[in-house]
Amino acid sequence: MSTTDAVTFWDGVYAARPAATDPRPNARLTETVTDLPPGDALDLGCGQGGDALWLARRGWRVTAVDVSAVAVGRLADLALTHGLADRIDAGRHDLRETFPHGAFDLVSVHYLHTPLDLDRAGVLRAAAHALRPGGRLLVVDHGSTAPWSWDQDPGIRYPTAREVADSVGLDRATWAVERADAPRRIATGPGGRTAEVTDHVLIVRRTA
């Protein structure tokens, strides 16, 4: 799929959803980051922007990127509305071609699942290399399919967090896996619909 097709696909996904006035952050982000000192964060696949806004409110400086111009535009508008424009740099970015510049204390990658041809392991490897010493890479993937997901393929298999870590192939002398598990939670989808879902959670810390 071409870059134009990627933008069209994801613009369509977000345009079909009502624009949120104050989108919620992801649960695995809040449980992981609440006790961390604020610094520089990179939000890969920022979507509606709930994570970026939550981080900025807690003093983080956030670079938020998404391939969808609709998603990025909505986040930029929300950052202005909520007085956080000085802490959020939102921009359209195609991770199949380039990776955002900078060094970060946190790289957050939530549900970076796509029907497009994406070298996910390469993206996550670049994310790990973008960490400062002591920084963390948080990767949260679907471990099950929510009823409201755009992808309802019954044959889909989601790699475990440990499989994701192995695919990235990081040197253990420089990066340490702090968490690799599959917790469950009750998620709330469009219209207030709820369902039990499984997350595959991976946390990698740069040690040197």
Query: Following DSSP, what letter does each residue of 77-114 receive, concatenated?
Result: HHHHHTT-TTTEEEEE--TTT----S-EEEEEEE----
Residue type, 183: P
Residue type, 139: V
Residue with tokens 């992808």: 151
How many angstroms separate the first and last alpha carbons of the chain?
Answer: 37
Cα–Cα distances (Å) from 7 to 73, 81, 92, 93, 196, in that order, read: 13, 25, 9, 10, 30
pLDDT per residue rounded down to tens, the chain (208 residues): 455 587 899 999 999 988 999 999 999 999 999 999 999 999 999 999 999 999 999 999 999 999 999 999 999 999 999 999 999 999 999 999 999 999 999 999 999 988 778 999 999 999 999 999 999 999 999 999 898 887 788 888 899 999 999 999 999 999 999 999 999 999 988 788 999 999 999 999 999 9
Model pTM score: 0.93
CB 43 within 8 A of CB 64: yes
DSSP notation for 153-164: -TT--PPPHHHH
Q: Which domains does the chain have, with CATH numbers?
A: 3-206 (3.40.50.150)
Strand partners, 175: 206
Residue type, 22: D
Give SS3 for 151: coil
CA angle (118, 6, 154) in 5-degree steps: 65
**161 in the Ramachandran plot: left (φ > 0), alpha (ψ -120 to 50) or beta?**
alpha
pLDDT in tens, 82-107: 999 999 999 999 999 999 999 999 99
